[in-house]
Structure 1
Amino acid sequence: MDEEYSALLKAQTWHLVPLSPSQNVIDNKWVFCLKCNTDGFIQRYKAPLVAKGFHQHPGVNFFETFSLVVKASTIHVILSLVVTNE
């Protein structure tokens, strides 16, 4: 957990701001996981910090959502164009 926390601080993941009474604070928690190799032995302990986003309310905490996801077919088309025009 210390390694994960140090990495978050080093990357300047967040900055502290004063709490406004009109804003809803979203809780977070540490999720402890084990990363094992192919033999089943523990390779690394992982502890990502995750936000409890299910406490957010539409129209209060956010107004729209989006996901930066690309369809596999789009990647196939782009790669085929690159290979064809190279």
Structure 2
Amino acid sequence: MDDEMNSMYMNGVWDLVELPHGCKPVGCKWVFKTKRDSSRKIERYKARLMVKGYSQREGIDFKETFSPMSTKDSFRVIMAIVAHFDLELHQMDVKIAFLNGDLDEEVYMEQPNGFAEVGKEDLVCKLNKSIYGLKQASRQWYLKFDRIITKNGFKENTVDRCIYLRVNGSSYIFLVLYVDDILLASNDFDLLIETKHMLSTHFDEGSW
């Protein structure tokens, strides 16, 4: 829980403010999960702070929620290309993907249970960025990711908007986005490492 709250503070996810007149804050809750390895041994305990998205009001707390997602058929095509041309294949996991999304709406949230700031218990969290559980969280993350990727030379596929391609001379790299997982396939190891470095400077990656 402390790690999750540190991520919130480090990323400036919210500011504590007085609740504006006529506004209603959405609630939040803690979700706990035990991460295990392939032999079922406990790797770590994970706590996730989530907004109670069901209490959001359409047109007030959110407008658009649609976010594209790569299809299984597209994934199979990329894997076939990787196998046929013997491409280098890497995977990245964005640890706090949704916290990268910027919000277009004004959303107010109650302070997390057990972490209300002393002396400011009557204040609420004005969200600056999306957070897990928000109805628009996935969409805002995708828009932020798409904007950064296309600025760095990647072209979006016209059929599957979660597949990107960057060509540099005879070198090329595919990027497949599936929610907060990123798959990279390239015929140039240096280009792949360069892309991973670019991603890690913009997003807090987990492991690959």
Q: Report the TM-score when normalising by structure 1.
A: 0.73
Q: Deviations over 1:55-75 (max 9, x none)?
A: 0122333333332x2544532
Q: Are 2:39 and 1:10 aligned?
A: no
Task: List aligned pairs for 1:1-86, cutoff 5 A.
Answer: 1-67=1-67, 69-72=68-71, 73=74, 74=157, 75=163, 78-79=164-165, 82=167, 86=170
Identity percentage over the alignment? 38
Structure 2 runs not aligned, ≥5 long: 75-156, 158-162, 171-208
Distance 2:27 2:9 in 1: 18
Aligned residues, how many?
81
The one-letter code sitting in structure 2 at the alignment partner of 1:32 is: F
Q: Report the TM-score when normalising by structure 2.
A: 0.34
Structure 1 runs not aligned, ≥5 long: none
Distance 1:13 1:60 in 2: 19
Structure with higher strand content: 2
